[in-house]
Structures are given as C-alpha cells and as structure tokens.
A and B are shown apart, each in its own frame.
Chain A
C-alpha cells in the first residue's frame, strides 16, 4: 500500500537550533516527494519538491531535504530555526501522472522554544 509516515506528531526545538523532521514513504512506483508547511490559519505552502537528480533539494525559507532511496526517506532539515518556523509540516508523495493522487502524511507540528 502507498503511504507516507511522519513518525513525530509534535517537536519542540529552541530558536537557533537545528531541525530535522522525518518522513518515510512506501510507494510502488518512482516517488515524487514534497514538503509543505501550514501556518496557523493558512493553507499549505510548498517548501520544496524532489522529482529526480540531486538527492539534496533546496527549498524556500532556508529548508532542505534529502532523498534516500535505500531508506525510503525524505527528511526535512534546517540549520537554524526561527520563531516564525512554528507551523505544521506535511510530507507528501505522488506519481508523475497526477497531482491529484498525492498522498499526504499526517503532519508534524513544530513549536519553537524562545
């Protein structure tokens, strides 16, 4: 079955500390991978996406993610978090053929400790 697992429901990090949010996927075909962020009262915003090529992907707001096929993982990282990064983060996977078939993970809520 196709699925996306975000094992951490809630993470708290101190401002200025590094961040890694975990994402594991199970997908039969070539996966196309995404990270979205949802700030309170807002819709989802695309942070970055991986289709092919370099397995380290750079996104907006200083985020990056690394695709590891052998581990079926696509973890999101940021070297130094800011208070404005507090939000819900969603990992997603989909097929090449259709954006409507994207499967979203359950999300990780990030809190920032001052």
Chain B
C-alpha cells in the first residue's frame, strides 16, 4: 500500500459526459501527478500540482482539467468524454516539487470506461 488513495476504483459512463476523479496523496506529500495509461498510448504524464499550484503540464487535453485543494487532495475533471478516453488514470504523489530524485508513489488507479 503506497498511501495514495484514489476514488472511485471503477467508473462507467457515456460519451459526452463529465466525470471527476479524486486523489488523496500520502501524508506530508506536497506534489500530486496525474497519469493516463491506455493500451495504445502507454503511460503518459498529464499534469502536476505542487502545494496547490500547477507545476508542470504534459499531454493533457483541453477537455481535461485538474486542481489541488488546500488539504492537498486533487481532482481530475474529464469532460465531453469520448470513447478514446477509456483508460486507467493514476495519481502519484511525492514529498517535494518534483525533481528527478523525488520518488513518486502511485495510487491504485481509477479505471474509466466510456461507452
């Protein structure tokens, strides 16, 4: 158990809908990262927040957004969902602002299925 929690574990929804994925980092960790893992694209970095502020942006679609709240939990919002958004979404957390030596601890993921 990494100490990172993600809810829900599974989510099934329809095209065009909007969903929110939630992540609680390990106690004391200030950074939260979001990743998408799909069969065709592999594991891709989406976005990072550090202590409430956006720190780094990866291959995140404009239909997707995220935020980190004062209690450091984070939410990833996915809107206008398409079939291709079906994937496993991981959250990871780390203690500091994300230098390469800052180990990331991954949550168990949320499996999103868009029908």
Do A and B interact with each other, yes or no? yes
Instruction: State which of A32, A90, A98, A104 has its C-beta within 8 Å of the C-beta of B56.
Output: A98
Q: Which of A10-18, A19-27, A38-46, A69-77 contacts the other chain?
A: A38-46
Q: Could you say which residues of chain A place their CB within 8 Å of the CB of B72?
A: none
| 17 chain-A/chain-B pairs, Cβ below 8 angstroms | A41-B108, A43-B4, A43-B109, A44-B106, A45-B106, A46-B103, A46-B104, A96-B100, A97-B99, A98-B56, A99-B33, A99-B48, A100-B33, A100-B48, A100-B56, A102-B45, A104-B42
Q: Could you say which residues of chain B place their CB within 8 Å of the CB of A41?
A: 108
Give the A-B contact count at a CB cut-off of 8 A: 60
Q: In the complex, are the beta carbons of B99 and A98 less than 8 A apart?
A: yes
In the complex, how many angstroms separate the beta carbon of B105 from the nearest chain A beta carbon?
A: 8
Q: In the complex, are the beta carbons of B98 and A98 less than 8 A apart?
A: yes
Q: In the complex, are the beta carbons of A99 and B94 less than 8 A apart?
A: yes
Using A90-B43, A106-B42 as known contacts, say yes or no to A99 and B108 having CB atoms under 8 A apart.
no
Interface of chain B residues 92 through 115 with chain A (CB within 8 A): 92, 94, 98-109
